[in-house]
Amino acid sequence: MTEQQIRRYLRQIGQEHSQTALRNFFEMCYDRFFRIAYFFLHREDWAQEVVIDVFFKVWERRLTLSHIQNLEDYFFIMLKNASLDFLSREEKYGEGGNAEMRSLEQSPEEKMISEELFSAYVKALDRLPDRCRAVFILVREEKKSYSEVAGQLGISVKTVDAQLQKAQNRLKEMLFPEND
């Protein structure tokens, strides 16, 4: 996923009111948006609901999205705010929001550091080559075995290991650059 692709879809969504472009944008960004929402909500069903709401907002705001300078930060903040609003509604009206709200009780500094690190992680993950990213997500986030990943992606277990090592090294370089 490149910023150029995202901007092209947003331009098509805004200027042409293209639902096909919205669907393509959805398919391209859903996994990333889900990871961000899940980071704040810690529940899959809630994260899915928030992501769908964000895509509705994208459609509603389609005429102004092409003017946004930093899309990565814009969508991160949009998802963060939608997630926190959702938690607030669950706390007020739902049955299960109390534990999630308590788990988010940190000092403002801890929250900021945690969010900044997660934002950097998501950005770095998006910069990985497609196969590296897929292997990393399946093994590290979805907790699948090497053999499951190999079968799912149609590659060998050795390739899974090599791609995982490559992903880890690149993420380490991007997240913790050496100061020369």
Tell me the CATH number at 49: 1.10.1740
Name the token pair of 56: 């509705």
Name the token pair of 78: 């949009």
Question: In this structure, how many other beta carbons lie within 10 angstroms of the beta carbon of residue 111?
Answer: 12
Q: Which of 107, 137, 158 is the last residue in one of the domains?
A: 107
The CA-atom distances, in angstroms, between 45 and each of 49, 68, 177 are 6, 29, 36
**pLDDT at residue 180 above 50?**
no
- CA–CA separation, 24 and 12 (whole Å): 11
Q: If you average pLDDT over every residue of the chain, what do you get?
A: 84
Question: What's the whole-number mean pLDDT along residues 148-160?
Answer: 94
How confident is the model at residue 52, as a pLDDT? Answer: 92
Question: What's the whole-number mean pLDDT along residues 124-129?
Answer: 87
Same domain for 83 and 168, yes or no, is no
How confident is the model at residue 174, as a pLDDT? Answer: 82
Q: How much is the pTM?
A: 0.62
**pLDDT at residue 103 above 80?**
no
7-11, 59-63, 101-105, 122-126: segment of lowest average pLDDT: 101-105
Q: Which of 107, 121, 108 is nearest to 36 (CA)?
A: 121
Same domain for 96 and 176, yes or no, is no
Burial class (CB in 10 A: 0-12, 13-18, 19+), 32: buried
Name the token pair of 61: 């705001």
Q: Which of 47, 72, 107 is the last residue in one of the domains?
A: 107
Domain encompassing residue 23:
3-107
Same domain for 134 and 168, yes or no, is yes
Is 115 domain-assigned? no
How confident is the model at residue 106, as a pLDDT? Answer: 61
**Looking at the 3D structure of the chain, how many domains does it have?**
2
How confident is the model at residue 122, as a pLDDT? Answer: 83
- CA–CA separation, 148 and 160 (whole Å): 10
Q: What is the DSSP string of 7-54?
A: HHHHHHHHHH--HHHHHHHHHHHHHHHHHHHHHHH--HHHHHHHHHHH
Q: Which residue has the tokens 């960004």?
A: 29
How confident is the model at residue 114, as a pLDDT? Answer: 75
